Chain A
């Protein structure tokens, strides 16, 4: 006796067919046994319309979904596409979406796992590490844009702190801020892409960047290694004195470079709304 076509089985079958990279006809054949819907039965399940065959009609959904997904990935990862080339980027995006179909309510989350996927996958991809770093930064720009709001420490608040007690101060980060340590100058590469340039592939060179939001606008601010380590330690909740120790622990640390203008640096970071609060 033929299995009843329940709504659950129907929806799972239809989704498998329209998301399949095989195309509708290929997918109908591929999933025939799994869902108990043969190509012959397909003709009566999805009948032809006035102008189009059943495959054509179902194919409209498959095509629109593919276009919508690709448009979203194109918009979100301009830097990765510039690095690997548009055609290769689309191959990668398709593969990523097969491995990570959307499970979020918003299309904005479609590429949320792309950087990790690029980093961990056994891809035949030149410059894989840089591609992953670019994806991580590009994703951070989106996340910081929609990140949580909070009041921020003002420069006046900062300057009102007693100087002799700065070392005891704990600086809490803005909740939307993100710090990155990269093996390549990924942020500089992105700046060139966003400016409409076609940059060459950079050589490896450690870089440090803060992605943050001030007055609703997302910015990327380059950091020195010492500044990055200092902020990272601060944002783990330790007081400034301990953060300095962490930043300067390495023999090669540029102590003079960090300390020469530290007051101005903190003022600048505060003006850019890096900090939510400073507490003694």
Chain B
């Protein structure tokens, strides 16, 4: 299945993180593509931007932000969007996205990915903002389903129904984080397969896999450690539904050597979809 924008399946990629800069520059490892945290490169200059320039010469780059705050009731920050647009041009980003969340209001930034209540009001609000942002950026937004730790009593629909409607009504793309689906489902006692069944897969252009921290009573999306079997199982399901799409392993805390992260990523190959129809 191709997505409706014909954005390519880039294969298996990794997050470009500062502890790996030297390794990546020196060894040009066999990774299909890199994802960057956009805000880490909204800077004037220096080593990080230099590394990005070098890496972008060799690999496709996807931009994934954490501060767009698409669900906030604050005004859209066009200066920030202008910076994103310039960075996307600089690194020739294959796509650009953020999270389905809000990060602050009244000018503040909590630097956390806060869930919105799943109501008609928030849906209309976010649809309008996504459309404005997409028009400004002149490309589809690739928005990620967040891990959530809380549900709101005034939500009038499920997360997956709300997200599916957002994708259709705003005409935007989904970065389907399968670890986040697992985390959210466990935290709220939800059915993973029901969540997955609601998603329009022609709008999924990227998938995240990651490790997490099980606190017993709940799971935190820490991006630490290897991917667990249950998440690989969800990943396999999503690869079947999408007939494969660009996959990115996130490992953002207690970051080990590059080779360790690359080995974990390589496991994904075994779960990619292989058509049973032979020519």
Residues of chain A touching chain B, judged by Cβ–Cβ distance below 8 Å, are: 5-8, 10-12, 14-15, 18-19, 44-47, 49-52, 54, 56-58, 60-61, 64-65, 68-69, 101-108, 110, 145-150, 175-176, 213, 216
Residues of chain B touching chain A, judged by Cβ–Cβ distance below 8 Å, are: 39-40, 42-50, 67, 72-73, 77, 80, 102, 104-112, 114, 116-117, 119, 121-122, 125, 149-154, 187-189, 217-218, 220
B50 touches A216 (CB 8 A): yes
Q: Which residue of A lies closest to B106 (CB)?
A: A12
B153 touches A47 (CB 8 A): yes
A73 to B61, CA, bound (A): 30
A sample of 6 inter-chain contacts (CB < 8 A) reads A15-B104, A18-B114, A51-B217, A54-B150, A106-B39, A176-B45
B46 touches A19 (CB 8 A): no
A45 touches B153 (CB 8 A): yes
A107 touches B187 (CB 8 A): no
- A213 contact set on B, CB distance < 8 A: 46
- A56 contact set on B, CB distance < 8 A: 217
Distance from A9 Cβ to chain B, minimum over Cβ atoms (Å): 9
A45 to B117, CA, bound (A): 10
Q: Which residue of B lies closest to A44 (CB)?
A: B153
Distance from B129 Cβ to chain A, minimum over Cβ atoms (Å): 11
A19 touches B108 (CB 8 A): yes
A52 touches B154 (CB 8 A): no
B39 touches A216 (CB 8 A): no
Q: Which residue of B lies closest to A68 (CB)?
A: B111
B44 touches A146 (CB 8 A): yes
A11 touches B108 (CB 8 A): no
The number of residue pairs between A and B whose CB atoms lie closer than 8 Å in the complex comes to 134
- B217 contact set on A, CB distance < 8 A: 51-52, 56
A103 to B45, CA, bound (A): 21
- A104 contact set on B, CB distance < 8 A: 109
Q: Which residue of B lies closest to A143 (CB)?
A: B44
A14 to B47, CA, bound (A): 38
A18 to B104, CA, bound (A): 11
B150 touches A57 (CB 8 A): yes
A60 touches B150 (CB 8 A): yes
A68 touches B112 (CB 8 A): yes
Distance from A71 Cβ to chain B, minimum over Cβ atoms (Å): 10
A9 to B48, CA, bound (A): 39
B109 touches A10 (CB 8 A): no
Distance from A165 Cβ to chain B, minimum over Cβ atoms (Å): 31
A139 to B228, CA, bound (A): 39
B150 touches A7 (CB 8 A): no
| A15-B108 contact given A7-B116, A61-B149, A176-B45, CB 8 Å threshold | yes
- B107 contact set on A, CB distance < 8 A: 103
A102 to B110, CA, bound (A): 7
Q: Which 8 A-B pairs have the closest CB atoms?
A: A149-B45, A51-B217, A146-B43, A105-B67, A8-B73, A216-B47, A148-B44, A60-B149
Q: Which residue of B lies closest to A103 (CB)?
A: B107
Distance from B107 Cβ to chain A, minimum over Cβ atoms (Å): 5
